[in-house]
Chain A
Amino acid sequence: MILTGNQIKKEIAKGNIVIDKFSKNSVQPNSYDFHLGRELIRYSNGVLNDAKNPALEDKVIIKDTGFMLKPEEFYLGITEEMTASKTYTQLLYGDNSIGSLGIWVQISAPMAHVGSKIRWTLEIKCVKPVIIYPGMKFGKICFLVNEGEIVPYGDETFLDSGRYLKNEITSSLINHKVVS
């Protein structure tokens, strides 16, 4: 089951969902709008093809006058909002207005495990050059009901035991544990 906007508000009141900063204007029929934070990571030298070693990265600050994304680059962005839930699984998508600009948000990994408390790192790619702005509405997050006993993300039961539970933009950590 997917939470309706009204239920998202109720679960926030009960403490089962945290959205910081929350605005009731961002509540949609079955999701919550998130906004684009100011920082971007761009991989330097275009080298991204060695999964076993960390890539070099540049940090870019998106100015109020905007920043042009280029199709040949791949970017990591971050949500303005921190979202958390120990009760529900979260899925993040771009919205229709962003997709219709030719922007992919989350090229591969839309799901946050139950127990996650994160500002989301956004996987961003564009089809044509496009100018984006800090704080713009960028997509939506929905919440799914789990069935079964919940062991939250970050528990040491799991292989990566919450290595992305950081409140900042984070590039791939795949080399540290999974590939060896």
Chain B
Amino acid sequence: MGSNYYAPFIYGRSSVGRLGLFVQITAPLGDIGFSGKWTLQLTPVRPVRVYPGMKIGQIFFLKPYGEINLYTGKYQNSNGPRKSEIYKDFRKLDK
């Protein structure tokens, strides 16, 4: 999911929140130009059973104001859950 024209936000849906399941613990805002599958940061408050294909959340899009530069970051074209690659940012700093 993604868009070259709008800024995406992703949230768990209310029925999932009512089960005590966080879907995106801290990063709901995506970048214009990201395209790929979103890694979900699933964190239950209590044990909860989930199933493949279940409806789990919603994506919505905000209209941008200003000229657009598209996302070209490290998570582009993700096709499965991706672990944090923040260590790459530290390597950049160390150079």
Contact = CB atoms under 8 A, between A and B. Distances in A.
Interface of A: 1-8, 10, 28-31, 91, 93-106, 127, 133, 136-137, 139-140, 142, 144-145
A2 B64 contact: yes
B68 A4 contact: yes
Q: Which 9 A-B pairs have the closest CB atoms?
A: A7-B66, A94-B26, A100-B84, A4-B66, A97-B86, A99-B27, A1-B65, A99-B26, A29-B31
Interface in B5-40: 7, 24-29, 31-33, 39
Interface in B40-55: 41, 43
B29 A31 contact: yes
22 contacts: A2-B62, A4-B69, A6-B66, A7-B64, A28-B31, A29-B69, A30-B31, A30-B32, A93-B26, A94-B27, A96-B27, A96-B39, A97-B85, A98-B26, A99-B26, A100-B41, A101-B86, A102-B25, A103-B26, A105-B26, A106-B26, A133-B90
Q: Most A CB atoms within 10 A — which of B32, B43, B66, B89?
A: B66
Given A7-B64, A127-B43, 10 more contacts: A30-B29, A95-B26, A96-B39, A99-B24, A99-B84, A100-B41, A133-B90, A136-B86, A136-B90, A139-B26
Interface of B: 7, 24-29, 31-33, 39, 41, 43, 62-71, 75, 82-86, 89-90
B27 A6 contact: no
B24 A6 contact: no
B21 to A, nearest CB: 13
Nearest to A106: B26
Contacts, number: 108
A139 B33 CA distance: 18
Contacts of B7: 2, 29-30, 142
A91 B66 contact: no
Contacts of A96: 27, 39, 75, 84
A103 B27 CA distance: 10
B67 to A, nearest CB: 4
B64 A137 contact: no
Contacts of A106: 26
